[in-house]
Structure 1
Amino acid sequence: MSTQIYAPEGSGPCCKQTVKATIVATDGIRFVGTNHCMRPQSTCAREGMPTGVGYELCKSVCEQDGHAEVNAVRIAADHARGATLYLEGHTYACQPCQKTASAAGIVEIIVGPPPQAA
C-alpha cells in the first residue's frame, strides 16, 4: 500500500512536540500529516504553558498551518471517509481536530501508532 505525506517544502518540526497523524483509508492507503512549522523556532513560544493553551502562538510565531490531524485530513480528502486516524506524539486529539476528522468521515481516532502495513 502507498503512503502520502504532507510536509511542505521548507517546513520544519515543532520544537515543543512532534505529532504525527496517520489516516489509514479503507483501501489501505496511508496519509500522514505532522504539526510542521513554516518558521520553526529553537525555543517554543508556548514554553511553560499547559497543553491546549496558546495555540494562536503556533500560527503567529511558527506559522503552523494546522495540527497533524488537520494536515492528514487535507491530503486524504475523500479517502478519509470510513478511515481510522492514528495519533502519535500526543495523548488526545483536541476538539477542533475531532470536529475536522468527524466532518471528513473519520470513524475512529486511536492514540498510538498505526498497525504495520501489509
Structure 2
Amino acid sequence: PNVIDLDNDPNFRPAPPTGMGLTMLDGGKMKLTWDASLRRNIAYHIYARPIDGSKWIRVTREPVAHNYQVFAQTKSGVSLMFVTTAVFNDQESDFSEPVSLDSRPAPKAAAQPA
C-alpha cells in the first residue's frame, strides 16, 4: 500500500494549536501555554493585541519550538490577548482560540447558608 509521509509533504498545513492558557507569574510576568502538537517538526508563532484592539501583531521573529512563552507586562493597565499558530515548513495554521487574563473563568461563589 502507498503510505503518504506528511512530514515530508511541503504543502502540509498544520492545525491550529489547542489548549491555550495564560497565567500570572511573580514579578508581573505572564506565561502563555498551549498543547504541543503530536506531529514532528512543528514550531509556533505567537501573536498579541490589546483586548480592545483589532490588529494582531506577531511577537515571535522566528517560530519557537516549545509550547510556552513567558512575557513581562510592559504597560500597566493594558490587557492583552494572545493567539498562536502552528508552523510547518512555510505553512502556517489558522489562529488558535484567543486567550487573555480577562477570559479566565470567574471563581465560583461560595454557597450561601440558608
TM-score (norm 1): 0.27
Q: Which is helix-richer, 1 or 2? A: 1
Question: Normalising to structure 2: TM-score of the pair?
Answer: 0.27
Larger radius of gyration: 2
Q: Which has the higher strand share?
A: 2
